[in-house]
Homo-oligomer: A and B are copies of this chain.
Amino acid sequence: MDRFFDRYNTYRSLIDTRLSTVIDRDKPVTMYEPARYVLSGGGKRVRPVLVMLACEAAGGDPRDAVDAGVAVEILHNFTLVHDDIMDRADTRRGRLTVHKKWDENIAILVGDELMGIAYKTLLNTEKGDMRALTRVFTDGVIEVCEGQSYDKEFELLPTVSEEEYMMMISKKTGWLVAISAEMGAIIGGADDARRAALVEYARCVGRAFQVQDDLLDVVADKEEFGKPIGGDIIEGKKTFLLVKALNRATGDDLALLEAVAMKTATQENLVARVTAIYEEYGVLDIAREKIAQDTDAAIRALEALEDNDGRQMLVWLAQMLLERKH
């Protein structure tokens, strides 16, 4: 496995190096100081590495996909800055959010500017059809905004259907993963079938990743997880688990889950009580099964591609994300 990890880190370094150069101005200070702060916040850089790997799996040179990868990462960060304002979040990855460290006006404007910088970086890409690439990227912007909009709408409802939830989450978090693979495919010169296979891979991986996130919130080892267990329950976040349980539970159990969703539940022993309901209705096993299925489907989708280093890395990436503990 070390070989894969090393390679992942090599690609991540290329991304981080390029990312550190995208802001080439210092003034206005109230714009570029917070913008630099956002982009230096770290992270696994899964999306940009995926752009590079998809390009490689399609037969291209992964270095041709660095700019597009960095563009997706900047786009992702723009959504975080604006979402944090909307969610009134004070911290992100252990650091103050932009609207907390500076103010809300600055956070709005820095987010807007990051979107401009994302496009500017994307436009440096030399391989692949620029119109197709920009179209896929732009659909990403639109879908991720729609996803956030649905998410905010759903926050006001006691329950949503599983279909509605999956639709929302595929837009809000899945879409940028999918366009990462699609952009890599375009730059790598994939034909339609291979491009579709890479998108299918990414959709499955994105879903598995999201459900895994929701599951870890409840079942993770406290030490390894690095944040309190049950945070989503306390926040009343509509996760895969909560939505599944809401659509299965009855009586007092349902009443409690609805109270969680509406953020009106009494906090005493809440995480334990809700986790017990999840166990009772088999929701944790459903999640585990869903993750395993999606990971399998992701790897199967790659069979449409020739075997090469890029494809092997994508197989490893899907498994690695499945096995992660935080």
A interface list, Cβ under 8 A from B: 28-31, 78, 82, 85-86, 105-106, 108-109, 111-113, 115-117, 119-120, 123, 130-131, 134-135, 138-139, 141-142, 145-146, 148-150, 152-153
Complex CA–CA separation, A149 to B318 (angstroms): 42
Complex CA–CA separation, A108 to B145 (angstroms): 10
Given A148-B109, A153-B30, A130-B134 contact (CB < 8 Å): yes
Question: Are B113 and A115 in contact (CB-based, < 8 A)?
Answer: no
Q: Which of B82, B113, B134, B150 contacts A145 (CB 8 A)?
A: B113
State the number of copies, please: 2
Kindly list 15 other residue pairs between chains A and B, CB separation below 8 angstroms, not including A82-B108, A85-B108: A28-B149, A28-B150, A28-B153, A31-B146, A78-B112, A82-B109, A105-B152, A108-B111, A109-B149, A112-B112, A115-B115, A119-B134, A119-B138, A123-B134, A130-B134
Given A30-B153, A145-B31, A149-B28, A138-B123 contact (CB < 8 Å): yes
User: Using Cβ atoms and an 8 Å threshold, which residues of chain B touch A131?
Assistant: 123, 130
User: Using Cβ atoms and an 8 Å threshold, which residues of chain B touch A106?
Assistant: 152
User: Using Cβ atoms and an 8 Å threshold, which residues of chain B touch A138?
Assistant: 116, 119-120, 123
In angstroms, how far is the closest chain B Cβ from the Cβ of A161? Answer: 14
Residue of B nearest to A168 (CB): B28
User: Using Cβ atoms and an 8 Å threshold, which residues of chain B touch A86?
Assistant: 105, 108-109
Residue of B nearest to A132 (CB): B123
In angstroms, how far is the closest chain B Cβ from the Cβ of A133? Answer: 10
In angstroms, how far is the closest chain B Cβ from the Cβ of A249? Answer: 27
User: Using Cβ atoms and an 8 Å threshold, which residues of chain B touch A123?
Assistant: 131, 134-135, 138
